[in-house]
């Protein structure tokens, strides 16, 4: 037998960063669309970077780094396991998971909240009779409800926050009535859809697996980063966060899905290229003259067709009625799974097959009710 040591096949730091770009089908589709549409555009590619809202991109990149750090610390998983192990009813468990998803999405963005809560939920699959699929569906609804409250809850809010020039508190106050109404609706639905059946959960917890120091560092950087964005300097804030990550926790750089940043850059470019096509220029030219109801319906229904982030990018370029757009695209996150990327993330993480149809049985009523609530608050 040869004594020659086997080569180390562990992926390098650079390979870990590049890997998401190789497997992100949405990014590939958007890139292909940009290439094809560029042949129909009168603008040279050198102008494309000017179409991107770089303050929004910097804010999103900083949030991805910081929330990945909080997720990596494992502390929120530890808290979740401790709480779940003390719950004795299916309804109480569902209410806890829905509330936790809602609250986490207000500060950690909707997708990171799912990456924390859904694995906890899937870990409960050994409990007999527990509807894991239904719990994941309600967690997807919950992160859409919670993330609409704050300017950092989801990508469309980040863009609307940058364009509206509202303060963090001002933006949140504007969204609070809709967020509260939808959250109460969600709690009622959770109470009705999950019985008070007795359960006994025993999730294994390893106290040494979480990193309090990393959580504390990310929390402090989080506050500093939000302050830099509030003062209008997200680029400098991102630079500070990236420098701290390189110095104290280099692994975070490799763990972030950087292809998501390219996805949003391509969305800005693709939407601009699409609006130059003759077949839709007439409709686009009419956006500045839309009534509030027409703009709201465009945001709500447009989210069902192209997802709420591209719908936001399209509408903010032609209208400054940011509150109307915010209410429309956030309510539009319900309904079809494509309405929000968070829906797709949750359903792909769920262990059950054929969950997509069941998701829509719950999400369409939420689209209808949240849309009516949103318009009632705007009218």
Q: Which of 104, 108, 63, 61 is nearest to 260 (CA)?
A: 61
Higher confidence at residue 370 or residue 1? 370
pLDDT value of residue 3: 53
CA quadruple 155, 152, 77, 221: dihedral sign: positive
Helix (H) or strand (E) holding 330: helix 322-331
pLDDT at 151 exceeding the cut of 90: yes
Q: Which of 225, 237, 247, 252 is nearest to 65 (CA)?
A: 252
How far, in Å, CA of 15 to CA of 376, rounded?
A: 50
How far, in Å, CA of 37 to CA of 281, rounded?
A: 14
When mean pLDDT is compared across 112-126, 170-184, 206-220, the lowest value belongs to 206-220
Find the length of the chain: 379
When mean pLDDT is compared across 108-122, 160-174, 203-217, 365-379, the lowest value belongs to 203-217
pLDDT at 4 exceeding the cut of 60: no
Q: How confident is the model at residue 5 (pLDDT cuts 50, 70, 90)?
A: low
Q: How confident is the model at residue 354 (pLDDT cuts 50, 70, 90)?
A: confident
pLDDT value of residue 17: 79
Residues 362, 189: contact at Cβ < 8 Å? yes
When mean pLDDT is compared across 69-83, 96-110, 153-167, 204-218, the lowest value belongs to 204-218
pLDDT at 296 exceeding the cut of 70: yes
Higher confidence at residue 142 or residue 89? 142
Q: Between the ranges 129-133, 212-216, 315-319, where is the mean pLDDT highest?
A: 315-319
How far, in Å, CA of 354 to CA of 351, rounded?
A: 10
Residue 291 CB contacts under 8 Å (≥ 6 apart), including other chains = none
pLDDT value of residue 107: 92
Q: How confident is the model at residue 249 (pLDDT cuts 50, 70, 90)?
A: confident
pLDDT value of residue 1: 42
Higher confidence at residue 51 or residue 129? 51
Q: How many CA atoms lie within 13 A of 82 on its CB side?
A: 8
pLDDT at 7 exceeding the cut of 70: no
Tokens 């292809």 correspond to: 259
Per-residue three-class SS string for 101-161: HHHHHHHHCHHHHHHHHHHHHHCCCCCCCCCHHHHHHHHHHHHHHHHCCCCCCCHHHHHHH
pLDDT at 200 exceeding the cut of 80: no
Q: How confident is the model at residue 2 (pLDDT cuts 50, 70, 90)?
A: very low
Q: How confident is the model at residue 26 (pLDDT cuts 50, 70, 90)?
A: confident
How far, in Å, CA of 25 to CA of 225, rounded?
A: 31
pLDDT value of residue 128: 65
- The angle subtended at Cα 207 by Cα 143 and Cα 126, nearest 5°, is 60
Q: Which of 146, 224, 219 is nearest to 183 (CA)?
A: 146
How far, in Å, CA of 113 to CA of 117, rounded?
A: 6
Average pLDDT value for residue range 362-366: 96
Burial of 91 (0-12, 13-18, 19+ CB in 10 A): middle
Q: In this predicted model, what pLDDT tens digit does every residue of 119-141 receive, in sequence order?
A: 988 888 877 678 899 999 999 99
Average pLDDT value for residue range 78-92: 84
pLDDT value of residue 204: 75
pLDDT at 146 exceeding the cut of 90: yes
Q: Between the CA atoms of 377, 157, 345 and 341, what dihedral angle is there, to the nearest 10 degrees?
A: 80
């Amino acid at each position: 037998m040869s004594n020659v040591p086997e080569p180390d096949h562990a992926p390098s730091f650079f390979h870990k960063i590049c890997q998401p770009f190789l497997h992100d089908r949405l990014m590939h589709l958007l890139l292909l669309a940009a290439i094809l549409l560029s042949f129909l555009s009168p603008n040279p590619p050198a102008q494309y970077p000017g179409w991107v809202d770089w303050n929004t991109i910097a804010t999103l990149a900083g949030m991805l780094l910081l929330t990945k750090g909080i997720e990596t610390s494992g502390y929120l998983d530890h808290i979740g396991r401790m709480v779940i192990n003390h719950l004795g009813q299916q309804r109480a468990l569902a209410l806890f998971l829905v509330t936790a998803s809602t609250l986490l999405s207000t500060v950690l963005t909707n997708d990171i909240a799912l990456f924390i809560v859904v694995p906890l939920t899937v870990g409960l699959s050994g409990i007999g009779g527990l509807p894991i699929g239904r719990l994941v569906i309600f967690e997807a609804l919950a992160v859409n409800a919670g993330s609409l409250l704050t300017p950092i809850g989801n990508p469309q809010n980040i863009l609307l926050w940058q364009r509206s020039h509202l303060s963090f508190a001002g933006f949140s106050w504007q969204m609070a009535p809709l967020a509260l109404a939808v959250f109460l609706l969600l709690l009622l639905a959770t109470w009705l859809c999950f019985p008070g059946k007795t359960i006994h959960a025993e999730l294994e917890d390893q106290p040494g697996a979480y990193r309090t120091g990393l959580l504390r560092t990310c929390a402090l950087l989080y506050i500093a980063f939000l302050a830099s964005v509030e003062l209008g300097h997200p680029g400098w804030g991102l630079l500070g966060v990236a420098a701290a990550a390189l110095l104290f926790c280099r692994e975070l750089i490799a763990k972030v899905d950087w292809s998501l940043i390219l996805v949003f850059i391509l969305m800005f470019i693709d939407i601009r290229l699409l609006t130059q096509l003759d077949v839709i220029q007439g409709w686009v030219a009419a956006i500045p003259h839309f009534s509030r109801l027409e703009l709201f319906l465009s945001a709500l229904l447009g989210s069902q067709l192209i997802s709420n982030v591209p719908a936001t990018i399209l509408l903010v370029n032609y209208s400054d009625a940011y509150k109307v757009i915010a209410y429309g695209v956030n309510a539009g996150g319900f309904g079809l799974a494509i309405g929000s990327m968070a829906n797709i993330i949750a359903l792909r993480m769920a262990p059950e097959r054929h969950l997509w149809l069941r998701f829509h049985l719950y999400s369409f009523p939420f689209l209808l009710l949240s849309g009516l609530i949103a318009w009632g608050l705007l009218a």
